Amino acid sequence: MSNTTKNLIEEIFNRQDQQDKSVGELKHINKLFQESEKAKQAKEFVFGEKLESLKGQFSSFFTRKPAESQGAV
Amino acid sequence: MKVVRVSDLKYKSEFEAPFYCVLSDESNRREMGCANLAFLNLELLLRRQINIKNEMTAFDIWEANRASLPEDEVQAVSFENAMNFLDTREIFDGFRMLVLNPNGMVPEVFFEIALRRLLQGQVALAMLEVPDKAGDKPILKVNHLAVIHSEEGEVYLDGLKLDLETFIKILYYSPLSTLMFFAKNKVGR
């Protein structure tokens, strides 16, 4: 195995490790914060249609609906 | 999500902000309090915007910040001293600040402003209450500072990639939650 291939494999594993840690931390934060009534109201508005053009400029990771994120986060 | 060691801060090209956590070189304990980390991340992100080019590494900035804080607050900075720090540091003179409290606004206006500013690349200092344990109710005391910014459509909290639902839960957890946006001053205006 060449050094370039070895470095590439190591980089992929490191990136995967970082992603796993990030997802774990995000899960932890989600559990930590109790959802307030105001948050529920805000979610109804934000995940409605009014902000579509603004939200369309963000990634699908950021803008996915809560039901879609339950399995992944 | 960048977790680095103190010595890593000396190599600015390899370890660009924002950092999620800075660890001591001696053990795994955290080296920085949240405000120290937030101000380091804030300054490094703002320096990028105003294109300051000098030889200061993240470590130099962190050391300078430590030197300007009371000795007993190097690990954990009080909210009042954090605001005093913001008031006296020269770099912030180059920015207009807009302070938003989502709980004091209708969501339509808050999200239009906040999301638009994040898309424009503006950086926000978040003043938050974080519960001690999962599910705890807010006690109405700000106890956490963090930096929120956006790059290439992703939104980050001190370098941790956030989704919109988490963003909402954090911001609306306590009525005290506040975002302070920093917009670069326009020359000649």
Q: Do B116 and A62 touch (CB under 8 A)?
A: no
pLDDT of residue B148 exceeding 80: yes
Q: Poorest-confidence range of A59-68, B91-100, B153-162?
A: A59-68
Q: Do A57 and B172 touch (CB under 8 A)?
A: no
Helix (H) / strand (E) containing B67: helix B58-67
Mutation for B interface: A18, A27, A36, most B CBs within 10 A: A36
pLDDT of residue B189 exceeding 50: no
Mean pLDDT in residue range B124-151 = 94
Using CA atoms, how far apart are residues B23 and B53, in angstroms rounded to an integer? 26
What single letter denotes the amino acid at residue B10? K
The single-letter DSSP state of residue A26 is: H
For residue A72, the model assigns a pLDDT of 45
pLDDT digits (tens, 9 = 90+) for A26-65: 999 999 999 999 999 999 999 998 899 999 999 999 999 8
Peptide bond before B18: cis, by omega within 30 degrees of 0?
yes
pLDDT digits (tens, 9 = 90+) for B130-141: 999 998 999 999
**Number of other residues whose CB lies within 10 A of the CB of residue B89:** 15
- Chain B residues whose CB is inside 8 A of the A63 CB are 163-164
ipTM given for this complex? 0.85
On the CB side of B86, CA atoms within 13 Å amount to 22
**Number of other residues whose CB lies within 10 A of the CB of residue A37:** 8
Mean pLDDT in residue range B51-70 = 81
Using CA atoms, how far apart are residues B140 and A48, in angstroms rounded to an integer? 30
3-state DSSP call for residue B131? coil
- Chain A residues whose CB is inside 8 A of the B110 CB are 42
Looking at every residue in chain B, the average pLDDT score rounds to: 88
pTM of the entire predicted model = 0.88
pLDDT of residue A71 exceeding 50: no
Mutation for A interface: B165, B166, B174, most A CBs within 10 A: B165
The arrangement of strands across the sheet holding B95-100 comes to B95-100, B178-184, B123-128, B144-151, B154-157, B160-162
